[in-house]
Amino acid sequence: MHFQNEVMPAEIPKPDRATFVTLRVMKLISINVATAKALQTLDGKTVLSGIAKRPVDGRIQVGPMGLQGDEQADLSVHGGLSKAVYAYPSEHFAFWQTVRAQAKVADWQAALAPGAVGENLSLSGLLEKDVWIGDRLRFADCELLVSEPRFPCFKFNAVMGFNKAVKLMSESAWCGFYLAVQTPGTLAAGESFELVAGPREVSITELFRSKLRRN
């Protein structure tokens, strides 16, 4: 039986991969910045680093080079146009809390604060496996483009307080991801955002694991 107004499957439009927006609830939990300061490494050396991020309140300006009030000491690792902002899923904080407790680092009982892994944006509802190079994070007044995964260095061991932190991030691929500023504007903690799909050729997790295998 066929009804006149029935929509047949062939007539249903297919979503455009370049503009499809996910429907999950995603939020910006915290915005975190730091100035470059002396950081003591686990082997007793002192290096300049901006990894010790702290939460800030209010609406924060976002320009092509990153967040207002934020600094980076080593632009080969974080900073510049393609790595202006670093985002990290807050869902992983419980894991880092647990392994720090197992390692009995100083103040291991204290909850990890936003910014503890060096991230500018603490997110919820978006994991690395669901993010692809070229995807965009669309906020009310700003749009950020996913550029590459974060590859941890010895400074991550220092801020976590034990020398296996880099190894654990590498094994888990819970690395977070860098963002270029597609549309400058402002951000505020607590606001939601949308994920707009790009070409979807390689995910953050796939690229992270691939590069580690080559190294």
Q: How far is CA 7 from CA 1, 11, 14, 15, in A?
A: 13, 6, 14, 17
In three-state form (DSSP H/G/I as H, E/B as E, the rest C), the secondary structure along 176-210 is CEEEEEEECEEECCCCECEEECCCCCCEHHHHHHH
d(CA 40, CA 170): 22
> pLDDT at position 106, please?
84
pLDDT band at 201 (very low <50, low <70, confident <90, very high): very high
d(CA 192, CA 28): 6
Report the run of H or E that residue 167 belongs to, with start and end: helix 165-172
d(CA 55, CA 101): 23
pTM attached to this predicted model: 0.88
149, 59 Cβ separation under 8 angstroms:
no
> pLDDT at position 206, please?
98
> pLDDT at position 109, please?
85
Mean pLDDT on 81-110: 94
Q: Which domains does the chain have, with CATH numbers?
A: 18-214 (2.40.33.20)
d(CA 104, CA 110): 12
Q: Is the pLDDT of residue 81 over 60?
A: yes
